[in-house]
Amino acid sequence: MNIAILIPSLSNGGAERVAAEISKYFSNKGHNLYIFTEQQKSAEYDFAGKVVHLKCRGSYYSDYQSWSGLVRSLGKRALEIRTLKKRYKIDAAISFMELYNLLNVLSKTTERVIVRVCTVLSPRNYTSKLYMPGLIGFLYNRADCVVTISHYGARDMVENYGIKRNKIKIIPNSVETASSQRNDDEWIYGDNAIVCLARISEIKQQELLVDIFFRIKKQIPDAKLLLVGVDTDEYAISLKRKLQKVHGGNAVIFTGHISHTRYYLMHSKLFMLLSKVEGFGNATIEAMSMGVPVVCMDSPGASREILAPHTKMTKLEEVEYAKYGVLVPFIDEASPVFEDERKKEVIAEEIVKTMRNRRVLDKYVKSGKKRAAFFTIERVGKMWDKTIGESYVRNHGR
């Protein structure tokens, strides 16, 4: 089968990493893979198949502030992709991220079109016309399949974008679990390091994490916070300035984007992620697979589905010691209220208790590894096999 993967970039993101894993999985199954992308530089991740560079490229935002700009840009780019689908005789086209999802639908010929929603869309407050619910609902309903990565994400697409439920399949991200990745650097951050693997951004709420960390540090003086991820945008720069001005010292370490994340995980005592929205926590699963206990905010997305499957999301007021990790109450760092201060104190106090309790830590080391095994490419790949198989049968009658 000829399969096209449509994605803007080949590096620096969770969606890109998952696309790379899927491409290798399908290639190993004997399919012909074609990666349609606008990125011209070398791929950071190891993709399988032929990379097809798109000539038509454009900004996610600048081209889409008016309806005329949107229609003109989408039309031109969809025409190029449609031509490429015909040239490579594509049987199934899988797209990642909203711009390429729209282009996948608009360029449809005879192939099976599968659009993959990589996050929970509605809470992200996108301003471009590209993300208008009416446009997404109208075009996504014309795809053959809409893949979401969680049950929460599926409900979001139905309730807020009008996607037909029978169009949706839930396929979680595949996550590369513990490997023998080696790094011989000496560990200099001590025995009480807390690590967060995520781009430094408003969505990931590292400023909130830093606030809670310094409350923890009052009781665990040798604690360190390692922020591992891209740290070049204005939010990250502002956070660094604030840290230097208010706290100084070297208790919070910005590593920037790195490839050897397992080096930080294997030495850390705890993994923390306090995202405002978390479509699917790849880094959370990666930490669990390495035997690192995880703490996640009970925010919109898949964190609860990962750590406490088969439970309902409620408005947490206290810390929940779930089956596979610790869930903490939701806080939006952009709108602090008195109630949030109480929650921060509760979260910090419970994390201190957890870090000091070897029995609790050992419990989550074991249960986390068990849960992470559910998200291997072998298991998730079978879900894709079924989706692609159904696609081929419907279109080719085989």
* pLDDT over 80 at 67, yes or no: no
Q: Which is more confident, 386 or 58?
A: 386
Q: Which is more confident, 42 or 2?
A: 2
Q: Given phi > 0 = left and psi -120 to 50 = alpha, else beta, which region is 102?
A: alpha
Please say whether the beta carbons of 210 and 236 come within 8 A.
no
Q: What is residue 181's predicted lDDT score, i.e. its pLDDT? A: 52
- Residue percentage of the chain with pLDDT more than 70: 91
**Three-state secondary structure string covering 230-290:** CCCCHHHHHHHHHHHHHCCCCCEEEEECCCCHHHHHHHCCEEEECCCCECCCHHHHHHHHC
- Mean pLDDT rounded to a whole number for the chain: 89
Q: What is residue 40's predicted lDDT score, i.e. its pLDDT? A: 65
Q: Which amino acid is at 386?
A: K
* pLDDT over 50 at 329, yes or no: yes
| C-alpha count within 13 angstroms, C-beta hemisphere, residue 392 | 14
C-alpha 213: how far from chain center: 23
* Stated pTM of the model: 0.86
* pLDDT over 60 at 180, yes or no: no
Q: Poorest-confidence range of 66-80, 88-102, 109-123, 210-224?
A: 66-80
* pLDDT over 60 at 47, yes or no: yes
pLDDT band at 129 (very low <50, low <70, confident <90, very high): confident
Q: Which is more confident, 140 or 314?
A: 140
Q: Which is more confident, 155 or 177?
A: 155
Please say whether the beta carbons of 329 and 298 come within 8 A.
yes
For residue range 246-283, what is the model confidence (pLDDT) as tens digits?
877 789 999 998 878 889 999 999 999 999 999 888 89
What is the rounded average pLDDT of the residues 43-71? 74
pLDDT band at 182 (very low <50, low <70, confident <90, very high): low
Phi, psi of 278, rounded to the nearest 5 degrees: -140, 95
Q: What is residue 145's predicted lDDT score, i.e. its pLDDT? A: 95
* pLDDT over 80 at 63, yes or no: no
Distance separating alpha carbons of residues 94 and 100, to the nearest angstrom: 9
Q: What is residue 285's predicted lDDT score, i.e. its pLDDT? A: 93
What is the rounded average pLDDT of the residues 60-73? 68
Nearest to 152 by CA among 276, 273, 279, 275: 279
Distance separating alpha carbons of residues 215 and 352, to the nearest angstrom: 9
Helix (H) or strand (E) holding 300: none
* pLDDT over 90 at 370, yes or no: yes
What is the rounded average pLDDT of the residues 211-238? 95
Highest mean predicted confidence (pLDDT) among 4-18, 120-134, 236-250, 338-352: 338-352
What is the rounded average pLDDT of the residues 5-30? 88
Please say whether the beta carbons of 85 and 91 come within 8 A.
no
Q: Please report where in the chains the tokens 């947490």 appear, as a residue.
A: 316
For residue range 275-298, what is the model confidence (pLDDT) as tens digits?
999 988 889 999 999 999 999 999
Q: What is residue 261's predicted lDDT score, i.e. its pLDDT? A: 87
Q: Which amino acid is at 33?
A: L
Q: Please report where in the chains the tokens 């198989």 appear, as a residue.
A: 389
* pLDDT over 70 at 5, yes or no: yes
pLDDT band at 42 (very low <50, low <70, confident <90, very high): low
Q: Which is more confident, 55 or 79?
A: 79
* pLDDT over 70 at 313, yes or no: yes
Distance separating alpha carbons of residues 260 and 42, to the nearest angstrom: 19
Distance separating alpha carbons of residues 175 and 170, to the nearest angstrom: 16
Distance separating alpha carbons of residues 294 and 290, to the nearest angstrom: 11
C-alpha 92: how far from chain center: 23
Distance separating alpha carbons of residues 105 and 101, to the nearest angstrom: 6
- Beta partners for residue 273, in sequence order: 296
